[in-house]
Amino acid sequence: MIPQQLKNQKFIKTKEKIPIEQDWQNTKNYEETSTELQEHINKHQSYGVLCGYNNLLVVDLDKEEVQQELLKISPFNKTFTVKTAGSGLYHFYFYTDKQPKSFKCLNNNKETVFDVQGIGKQVIGAGTLMSNGRRYETVNNAPILHVEYEWIKKVLEPYNTTTEQKNTATPQNHQKDPIIKEIKRRMSIKNYLSIIGIDTRKNPTMCPLGHPSKGNACFSYNEELWHCFHCESKGDIFHLVQQIEKCDFVNAIRILKEKIGIKEQKSTIVPEEEKKKITEDYKELALQKFRIFKSKDETLYELQIGTFKITLTPDEILGSSNFRKKFFNETGRLLPSIEGKEWVELVNHWMKEHGEMIDNVQDTSTESIVTECFIQDLQSFIVVQSSEESLGYGRLWYKNEEPEYFYVWNKTLDSFIKRHQFKINMTKLKVLVEDYIYGNSTPIRVGNKLMRFFKLKRSMLPFITTEKLTEAILQQDDQSN
C-alpha cells in the first residue's frame, strides 16, 4: 500500500485520520519494513506519514481555487501528489533543505487556505480507506522533489491574507489584582462560553470568534485558558471577552463584573478557626484510596470515597475546585471552599494515611491507565435484564438470547470518560478498549426513543461469574413477580 516514493519515511498507526498511539511524534512511529506496521495496515487499511522526518514537508490544500493556481507552478505540478478521500483536494509532497516548521494559511474570513505540515505533524497516506468508501489516491506518481524551505514559504506567503490579531491577554501587573482573581474564580472559560451560546458539551468546540472550521471543533479550553487551532488565537477569559466584544482590557473587566454580579469588592478572608474546621470536615470524608499513577506520559491522581472516584491531573490537584465540582456532580453534596495552603495540607494528609504510588514510568502509558480504570469500573456494574433499566451508569444489560455478550449504553462510555476526566474522545476510548467491545454500536428502541448500545464480550469479563449473573437474573425475576 505504501508508495515507493515514501519507502524511506516513517509512518504511524491510524484509524481513518486519528493516530491511535500516544507519542507518535517521537517514539511510536515505524519504518516501512516494520512487521507491526504492516499488520496494522492489513487489518485497518489505514496509516499516517510522519512529516518533518528526513525534512519531509506536505502542503495540505483546503481551497480548490488556490490548488488550481499552484498546479500552474513548478514544482507543484511535478512532485509526488496525493488526492484526499474527503474534499478531493491535494497533498503536495516535498523534501526541504532543513527541518520544516508547520504553519497555517488563512484568508480574511479566517478560513483555512492550506496547512503546511512539518515537524510534529502527520498526513494520511495514499491507499488509506475511509468510512465513506473512498481512498486517498496518488494523482502524480512523480518522485518527491527537493525545494528550499524559505523558497516555498515565499511562494505561499501571498495567500495568507488574514489580519493578525494582537494577543491582549491579562497584563502581568494585573495578575494579583483582587478583582481579577475574583472574576477568574467565579467565571471559567466554560461558564462564559455557555452564557454566549456556545455548545460546551464537547471540547474542542466551535470557535466563538465567528469563523468557519471543519467539524466546528477547533476551540480547546480548560478552566482558565483557551486556544483556537484554526485561527491560532489564544489567551485567558479577559482576552476572550476582548476578542468577542471588540473592547479593551478595562471594558472586558466591566463586562465580566456585570455578568457575575460583582458590585463592590468584598473581603474573602476566612478566620483561622473556620479554616481549621473546613479542613477537618474534609479529613472526615470516608476516603478509601488515594492512588498516584505515574507513567511515561503523565501523572494522574485517583481518589476513591465509597463508590465515588475522581481523577485529577498535577495542575488540577493544586487546588480544590475541580475536586469540589466532581464531588457535587457525583454525590449531590456541596463541600465548602478550601484555600490553597489548606488543600495542600489535606492532600499530604490523605497521601500519608491512604496513599499508594503506582510507578509505571518504564512501561505503562496513559492508555494502560484508561484500560485499567475501565475494567475497575466494570467490576462494580450490576447486571439488569431490561433495556429501560440499562440507561444509567453502572448497568450491564444481559439478554438471554445472546449469552455471549453484555449490552452497555453508549452514554455510559461517555460518562466513564467524564468521571475520570480523561483527555480523550469516544473514538479514542473505543480504540483503547477494542478487545472488550464487539463490533460497532447498535441502535435499539427503548420506550419511545432510539438508543445506541455497544456489545461487551462476556469472555473478557471473567469477574462477572455465572453465580453473579444467576443471582442478578433471579433478583430480576423476583421483582417481576
| pLDDT on residue 169 | 47
Per-residue pLDDT band for 272 (boundaries 50, 70, 90) equals: low
CATH for 199: 3.90.580.10
190 in a domain, yes or no? yes
Based on the fold, state whether residues 23 and 155 are members of the same structural domain.
yes
Per-residue pLDDT band for 118 (boundaries 50, 70, 90) equals: very high
Is the predicted pLDDT of residue 165 greater than 50, yes or no?
no
Over the chain, what is the mean pLDDT? 82
Distances (CA, A) of 393 to 17, 437, 458: 30, 17, 18
Based on the fold, state whether residues 183 and 196 are members of the same structural domain.
yes
218 in a domain, yes or no? yes
Based on the fold, state whether residues 242 and 340 are members of the same structural domain.
no
Is the predicted pLDDT of residue 294 greater than 90, yes or no?
no
393 in a domain, yes or no? yes
28 in a domain, yes or no? yes
Residues 304-318: pLDDT tens digits? 776 677 777 776 776
Based on the fold, state whether residues 313 and 346 are members of the same structural domain.
yes
| pLDDT on residue 167 | 47
Based on the fold, state whether residues 204 and 316 are members of the same structural domain.
no
User: What sign does the dihedral 437-443-446-449 (CA atoms) show?
Assistant: positive
Based on the fold, state whether residues 145 and 14 are members of the same structural domain.
yes
Is residue 372 within 8 A of residue 446, CB to CB? The reply is no
Is residue 47 within 8 A of residue 125, CB to CB? The reply is yes
Q: Is the model more confident about 366 or about 134?
A: 134
Residues 434-478: pLDDT tens digits? 889 998 899 999 988 899 999 999 988 888 876 667 665 555 555
The residue-averaged pLDDT of 276-288 equals: 70
Residue 270 grid cell: 476566612
Is the predicted pLDDT of residue 286 greater than 90, yes or no?
no
Based on the fold, state whether residues 245 and 283 are members of the same structural domain.
no
The residue-averaged pLDDT of 28-46 equals: 94
Based on the fold, state whether residues 107 and 247 are members of the same structural domain.
no
Instruction: Determine which of 82-86, 146-150, 364-368, 476-480 has the lowest per-residue pLDDT on average.
Output: 476-480
List CB contacts of 266: < 8 A, sequence separation 6 or more: none
165 in a domain, yes or no? no
265 in a domain, yes or no? no
3-state secondary structure (DSSP) of residue 26: coil
Is the predicted pLDDT of residue 265 greater than 60, yes or no?
no
Range of the domain at 240: 172-260
266 in a domain, yes or no? no
Based on the fold, state whether residues 95 and 226 are members of the same structural domain.
no
Residue 370 — φ and ψ, nearest 5°? -60, -45
Distances (CA, A) of 100 to 117, 157, 176, 213, 398: 8, 15, 40, 25, 54
Instruction: Determine which of 142-156, 316-330, 353-367, 422-436 has the lowest per-residue pLDDT on average.
Output: 353-367
The residue-averaged pLDDT of 251-267 equals: 74
Based on the fold, state whether residues 241 and 210 are members of the same structural domain.
yes
3-state secondary structure (DSSP) of residue 249: helix
List CB contacts of 234: < 8 A, sequence separation 6 or more: 167, 169, 225, 226, 227, 228
Based on the fold, state whether residues 106 and 204 are members of the same structural domain.
no
Q: Is the model more confident about 314 or about 162?
A: 314
Structural domain ending residue among the three candidates 307, 332, 364 = 364
Instruction: Determine which of 91-100, 113-122, 134-143, 287-296 has the lowest per-residue pLDDT on average.
Output: 287-296
The residue-averaged pLDDT of 74-90 equals: 93
Residues 372-404: pLDDT tens digits? 888 888 888 888 888 888 998 889 998 888 989
Is the predicted pLDDT of residue 278 greater than 80, yes or no?
no
Based on the fold, state whether residues 151 and 29 are members of the same structural domain.
yes
* Model pTM score: 0.43
Is the predicted pLDDT of residue 411 greater than 50, yes or no?
yes
Is residue 117 within 8 A of residue 123, CB to CB? The reply is yes
| pLDDT on residue 220 | 84
Is the predicted pLDDT of residue 168 greater than 70, yes or no?
no
25 in a domain, yes or no? yes
List the one residue out of 218, 21, 6, 254 whose CA is nearest residue 127: 6
List the one residue out of 298, 295, 276, 286 whose CA is nearest residue 354: 286
Per-residue pLDDT band for 18 (boundaries 50, 70, 90) equals: confident
The residue-averaged pLDDT of 1-11 equals: 93
Q: Is the model more confident about 352 or about 274?
A: 352
Number of domains into which the chain is organized: 4
Structural domain ending residue among the three candidates 229, 260, 291 = 260
List the one residue out of 224, 225, 245, 247 whose CA is nearest residue 234: 225
Q: List b or e across 262-277, with b for residues whose CB sees 16 or more CB atoms inside 10 angstroms.
A: beeeeeeeeeeeebee
Residues 178-190: pLDDT tens digits? 788 888 888 888 8
**For the chain, percent of residues with pLDDT exceeding 90:** 29
Structural domain ending residue among the three candidates 348, 364, 380 = 364
Highest mean pLDDT among 219-223, 243-247, 451-455: 451-455
